[in-house]
Structure 1
Amino acid sequence: MENIVNAVDSGEALARDIGAVVRIGAVPSMLKMICEETGMGFAAVARVTDATWTACAVLDKVGFGLKPGGQLQLHSTLCFESRAARLAIVIDDFTQSDKYRDHHTPQIYGLRSYISVPIVLPGGEYFGNLCAIDARPAAVSDPKIVRMFEVFANLIGMQLDSEQRQLSTESQLIRERETATLREQFIAVLGHDLRSPLSAVSATAELLSRRQTEPDIAAIGHRLKRSALRMARLIDDVMDFARGRMGSGMVIALNDELDLGVHLRAVVDELCMTYPSRVVDCAISVDGPARCDLARLQQLMSNLLANAFTHGSPEAPVVVRAAVDSGTLVLSVSNGGEPIPSQVLQRVFEPYWRPKTSAPGGGLGLGLYICKEIVEAHGGTLEVCSSINDGTCFTARVPLEAGKAL
């Protein structure tokens, strides 16, 4: 219990509570109305805990001498008793009160009239009291006066609760952003550090695959090359994702390319070697110069085709089409198999999202997200449609003369 009291009554906590009350713009008007309606000379909003009484907002017309941040001995106040009972205490004249005539509070502070109403937050937490005092009698027991105090106390409680929830939400968002930044920095560093051992694995795989006189060893080398290639793509996706999140998104380098179609076809041929059992119907008709980021468009083709191989039906061919229409590259990759449900169709472009049907180890769920970033960085669009009859088709439309160039 002592730790809780210390936490609540620490200077930092009290300063935060005072600030919260100060930020309620209506409080000064409430205190002014209280004094005008009751004829009393002092009104305040007090933070009352198990150990302290602290003024948060004050209207002092009689020179009582207490300012915001000022404190009174808790047991010298009637707010202590109000807090314990969670009830209002209303006294028109101490000298006429059978219960409070001899109480120490009026004797200490020279009071004749007093009213104090609890301020309780909507969740039940006791914050403090809305109170008024005077050295003269006052008709504060009038039901209209008591009701005014209760309404004001309730409004203050609701506003304090709203601010607490807002601050809690903002703090949580800040913590989540900090965590996300650290995670992405870690992923970027990890991806960078993996490249060196992966290069060694790729070199070893290449040497093994050349052992033509030892077919079993060569087959192991080819499998190792495929695994290394897949790991390299995963690292590239992770690095692109981390750079995009920690920077200003994906940035491309536009150059004039004379053989874009040839380079796209090379990507298809490479993946066909990795998936020799799959049938690919490929028609690429891209002639003439094109201003684009060649490496990124090859990555786009690679990711879309790998996605079709991974999630499409092995019995159905993968259809690849690429052509230029009025200065725009239209590239589509289609596969057969179970359609993507309409309610999750647009989620396929979210980072780290994978369908529930994905096999373990099938990837990080970044490939299609990277595709969308590449297309949008070129000023284009990437769309997906999926149905039982037509299968799933991703279509990218990429202007060949636009984009965020370096």
Structure 2
Amino acid sequence: MNRLCTANQAAAAIRAGQASSRELTEDLLARITADTTVNAIVETRPEYALQAATAADEAVASGADLGPLHGVPMTVKDAINVAGLHTTWGDPAFADYLPPADATLVERLKSAGAIIVGKSNVHTMLGDFGQTANELYGRTNNPHDPARTPGGSSGGGAAALAAGLTYLEYGSDLVGSIRLPAAYCGVYGLKPTAGVVPLNGFQPPGPPAPITEFPNPSSLGPLASSAADLRTALEVTGGPTGKAMSWHLEPPRHRRLTDYRVGVVLDHPDAPVTDEVGKALSDKIDALASQGVKIVEGWPEGVDPSDQAEDFGFQIGLFFALHGEDSDFAPLPQIIEQERRRMAARATWQAYFQDIDVFLCPTSFTTAFPHDDRPFEERTIDGRPYDAQVFWISHASLTGLPAVSMPIPTAGLPVGAQVISAFHEDDTAITFAELAAG
């Protein structure tokens, strides 16, 4: 079987008896062991994985009910708890920590039949959106050019997918940590609607975080080799916890590409795109228009993208303050005003999506850039501020809207286009990305 097939294709082959979970798992573990360049997967559990694969094949033979990811070997980000694997957050202080239980999303992946074979690398304490390196496991490299970054902090997962070292990955996105690596490595990444995937089992080792109803800008979401894999992963992991709770993924607005009305912005003075990114995205928009897709240029009415990017920066500062880093971060009236602005921004985007189905913009202004070990505040990318990477991902993050980073084919380094859709309409963004890739 093609080692670069998608998770859905692998699951279908296993169900049909065209491939065995054992063979796929053995082959995947061998590829991970043989890798000497990318350094994406930092820990595996071969004995467990092979036993689970054998059991998966026996279930197929017996005619048992099979989940949508039955027998598919996959990985998750180091920061997500998996019983039997270390959760280190890339910090040597947590090198020996073994969580007592699976994160909720891991429980759900396993219930869907997936086999969690190992963990992918992260930046130390998830503290970098542009690179992935730590003292415990070292640096992860971009498979397209090992001298360049795979992005961060979910760079290990994105690089593993691009290198054929996993069939599916689950990461986290606070400041673009799913979408930026997906763009730099040429894979798909989804930041779901805020709160759709439970965060239980996603925190640094130590006492449980205090319960709060304050909005958490972090999201857990999948990275994959296809948009369809994103849908499958979200379908099996989304929804609130509790036996009495139910959830389903809202269907997409359209199932034909030509039915979509697409808002488009491809550049902005605060984060001007490179020529390579600009050409790839412009060519893609031209191709969509030639296929009959309705293109509507410009930001939504009432959206000041610079102001919203700045407001997102405040929200990130507030997030860390609530987690104990700066108790004097801002006075209460300013926090109240920023919360009003955040909800007003969501309402403005929701009004926009009454007439527009998805909004397409760059995921980043640049392609993958060379590794940079300088202090954070001294880093630049082609003479631009390092944190300019945050501009394009900030609007979906501020508002909690779902956003897919989809790869745009190029002759050079990968380019990512970001597809944003209305609140709780994740599958509209996913389906558009799936149709647009055809």
Q: Same fold (TM over 0.5)?
A: no
> Normalised by the shorter chain, which TM-score bucket?
under 0.3
TM-score (norm 2): 0.19
- Greater RCO, 1 or 2 (C-alpha within 8 Å, sep 6+): 2
Bigger strand share: 1
Alignment TM-score, normalising by the size of structure 1:
0.20
